[in-house]
Structure formats: structure tokens, C-alpha cells
Chain A
């Protein structure tokens, strides 16, 4: 890991801005849900903020990502518009998907967010196809497949890693290993120590990094992205992390190891990065406060606009089933 490229000060601040947006957005979603103002299944990405933030600073709007139900962090990091996000969460017609997708199916092609899936393991085959399209386009785009540790046990994971390797596609398989798949600890679902070891079976590089460490995550992502852009094929990155709010918001987490949970909390990546920015003189306390206040204001505006927006017309039931409406 020592030979990985490191983020410079400006990039590190950029990573923090994205991560802070994710964290504050998560807190606001939960607040709205607790107040009964938003009703939806919510899979909090709290604790996993650094992974997509440190990845996305090396991506452009042209690059593709596919993600999963727990993917709001991936989207916000890549620039998903806040207004349309909140409107979609509220099921309003002003949402990116006109309220027909919801939290598990957020889509925003102009920012490269092509597919969000609620089916475990399904982001990989589709991202592979986007990688094929990217290669044919010849625009040096890359395609990122986000998924969890649980998804690494689905057949489609193996099929798509193999196909992407055989076809030398610009795909980054990004496993966000938060140690649990729903209520099941990884201890019950694999015998190898690292999921990244599986890359060897498909002849591609596989690395495990501390996904909560911006240096490691940025470096691994940058190397994989550069490799993909250079036409050298796919990489599997296993980013170790932890989810602080359980699987589905509202569950008690009784299956979790209490010591592990307590230890993870002491390693919450957000206060650590924040403190680092100050100690290294990258940003002052005042600057950070201003950044955070600005994020809050933007969320306020998005939330208000979403709640004021109308629900979709019932005619939407028949629309978008096919390109052309069918009686």
C-alpha cells in the first residue's frame, strides 16, 4: 500500500466535503423517518462515507457506476442532485425517477448513475455490460460495480468478474465489506480470509484496503481506475468498513458482536478525517463549520422542495412500462 498515490491537501478536503454531505444527509433522512415524515425502507450508509468519497474524486460524470439499496453514499459522492434525490425519497413527481423508483432504484444517467438494484449481487453483471459499452465508446470511461460482502457469494459475482477479465473490460469491482450481510456475519459465509483473494481465480488484481482510510482508499481506487482507463482490465477492491446503523434502519442489531461494534465506533472515520484536516492545517475549524452549515442549508432546501412537490399523477402507472404507452 505504501507505493499507492496519496491524495494531496485539496483532494483530501474534497473527500471530506463529499463524506460530510453523505453523513449529514443520512442524519437528516433518519430524523425525517423518526418523525414519520418519510416512510421507506432505509439502508443507512453511515460509517461507509469514505469509500465512495475517496473513489469519486478520481471519476467524472462520464464514468458509470451501478450500486445497491445501500448506495446513497455512492450517489452523493458522485454528484447526485440533492433536490431530485429527496423528491424521489418522498415519492414525488420531481424525483429523478418521478417517484417510481424510490430509495432502492435511484437513477441519474447524467451523473453516470445508471442502475441501483435491490437484488443482491446484480450490480456486477450490469456494470460489466456498461464496461463493455465504455470500451466500445473508446472514451476512456470506467464502470464501477458497488456491492457488499454478502453479494460476493452470489454466482453473478463470479460470472461477471470472469467475463470482465476475459474481455479486459474497464470495470472496478468495489466490494464494500461492512462485515455483515443482513444479520449474517462474514464468518458464516466464506473460508478465505479476504474476499479480494478471489480475484486470483479470475486473473485480476485483488486488494483489500481499509476503506475508512482516505489515503488507502484513494490510492487503491486511483490505481484501479488508471489501470482500467489504460485498457488493462478489471480490478477487485475489497474496502473494509463498518455500518453503524445496522442493516435496515430500525432493527436492533442483536446479532452483532458488542465488542466489535464498540471498537468500530472508536474508529468512526468521520471525526478522524475531520480532526486530521485541522491538525494538518488543511482546513480550519471555521472553514469546516462553514462547509457543514452550507451542506445543511442545501439539505434543508431540498427537503422543503421535496415535501412541497406533488405526487405523481396516476397516469404514471402506465407510463415508462415501455417507451411507447400501451393500452
Chain B
């Protein structure tokens, strides 16, 4: 619990990997360009690790996503704790068989004889004009698959704490990093953040926003703005998308009576549908209005700037949904 300084998410994840590798010799890293010869990748998240822990434990791979995830699964089944990087979330479509049919299911199909204690780190987020194949949020694919946990931190603190917890988790964890918020410094305290626990990021009494990743930052901005108009918004940061913390979410909405679920992924069939549905089932009769959902438009992420900005939720569009919930 030592207050260090301000940190960015990139630095926090790097520190988490360092600390985990130091604490446990079975922690391994693999992925494209993760080694120091390649400068720890385009974003430098894994910088310094191969120099410190050696190229046996930190392996830069060929561009072979199926082999990367397969090797991580094999190493995990063989007693290690690999952290595999898939450079960008869209590329996760390539090793989908390895993740969905193998990592997520080996424990169940083996009747608990084998487990897959691995982490898949991946980055995404729109806002860099990268178009349709480099910025999607695909968390719902994995939340829909039994056997894999899905986490998405919104702060450097959570990035550190969730990464440490994910590495020590006995099951596969998909760790989604938001690129646009990578370099925003924030106060940092070294703590472990348990998987499956949401956080009330801001207390309020009129309406609850449930969000994760960059959408938490947007939601907090909205809450700040609405406070000036006398509207009290509570913001719940999911932190773990699957298994999600129903207790914290339900307690908050029970208190406020109104809910807005926000995610950057496409709204249709997104995780907001599940969360809204459970809130409705649990709190029917006490809700003051229908649960609102905010998500991206039903299209690929567009290139053209105005279209890209209109595609994903913004503080403005979240504000509109909050007003609708209050109406």
C-alpha cells in the first residue's frame, strides 16, 4: 500500500509484469515483439522484461497468433503462468479456436484434471483513425464463453492490481487494455484488485451508470457535468466483465432506481443487454424507468473522423441516455 507517484496505464502494466515475474519464476511472457531486442513492442508495455528475466521466460514470437495462444495454453497446462500478448483485439479473431475451444474449456472437459492459468493481454479502442480492423471491442464474444474471465481496467491502479490478480488466477483471463487512455497519468497505489469485484467510482443517488474501461472516464465526466444541474449520478466501474459483480451493480441500482449501461462495443447483443436484463429481473417493481443502454453504432469502426466520433459513445451521448433514464 505504498503511494508511489503518478503513473500511466502503460507503466502500471509494465510494473505489474515485472513484479509478477520477480515474485514467481513460473510467470512467462510471449507475444510479437515483447522482447527488448524489439523494444518491448510498439507501445513498450513489456520493456525491460527480457533483459531482466531472460529470453527463455520472455519470448518474442513470429506473427503466429494461433501458435502464440496454443503455446501459452500448453505452457499453462504444463505448470507455468504465461502472459500472452495479442497486439490488437481484432487480431484475436485469428486464434479464436485456441481461446474458445481450448483455453476456456480444458478444465471442464478434463473434469478438473487440467487448468489453463494464462492471461491474454490485448489492446483496443477507437479514436486513432485506424478504421474497421484495428479498434473493436469484442468482450461480449468471451463473456458469452463459459470458462474464460474478462477484465478491463479503467485506471493505472486497476491495471496493476487486476494484472497481478489475473496472473495468479487459476483460469484463463482476457485482459483488455484501452489504447486511448494508455498515457493518462493518475495517482498510483500498489494494490491487488480482486477479479469479479466492481467498484463504485463515484457515489450518487439519482441514477447509476454501469461502465468499464474508457467509458468509465467518460461517465465520470458526465456525472461531474450533471452535478452542476443538481443531478446526482453514481458510476459503477465493472472492472471485471465476466464474471460480473451483480451484487455491487444491483445494490447501486436498488438505491438509485435508475440505470444506464455503457460500453464502447456495438450495442446490439453487447454485454449491456445481459446487465440490463438482470437488473430488470432483479429489481422489477422498484425501477423508476426502463434500463437504458449506450453502445457503438451497428457498423464497423469508420475511418472518417466525424463518423468515427459518432460511432462510439461520447460523454454527450451518455448524457443524453442519463436524461432519458431520468425522464
Contact = CB atoms under 8 A, between A and B. Distances in A.
Interface of A: 64, 66, 95-101, 105, 107-109, 114-115, 117, 119, 122, 124-137, 143, 155-156, 159-160, 162-163, 166-167, 316, 319-324, 326
A130 B98 contact: no
B66 interface: yes
A128 B70 contact: yes
B67 interface: yes
A126 B62 contact: no
A125 B68 CA distance: 8
A105 B112 CA distance: 12
A132 B62 contact: no
B190 interface: no
A97 B106 contact: no
A129 B111 contact: no
B97 A115 contact: no
Interface of B: 28, 56-57, 59, 61-62, 64-67, 69-80, 82, 97-98, 101-102, 106-115, 146-147, 149, 170-171, 196, 243
A66 B106 CA distance: 12
A326 to B, nearest CB: 5
Closest 8 CB pairs of A and B: A129-B74, A125-B70, A133-B78, A98-B111, A97-B111, A159-B67, A129-B71, A323-B170
A162 B110 CA distance: 29
Interface centre among B61, B77, B80, B102 (most CB of A within 10 A): B77
Contacts of B77: 114-115, 126, 129-130, 133
B107 A114 contact: no
A96 B109 CA distance: 10
A132 B98 CA distance: 17
Contact of B109 (A100, A130, A134, A326): A100
B80 A136 contact: yes
Contacts of B147: 321-322
B78 A134 contact: yes
A100 B147 CA distance: 14
B78 A114 contact: yes
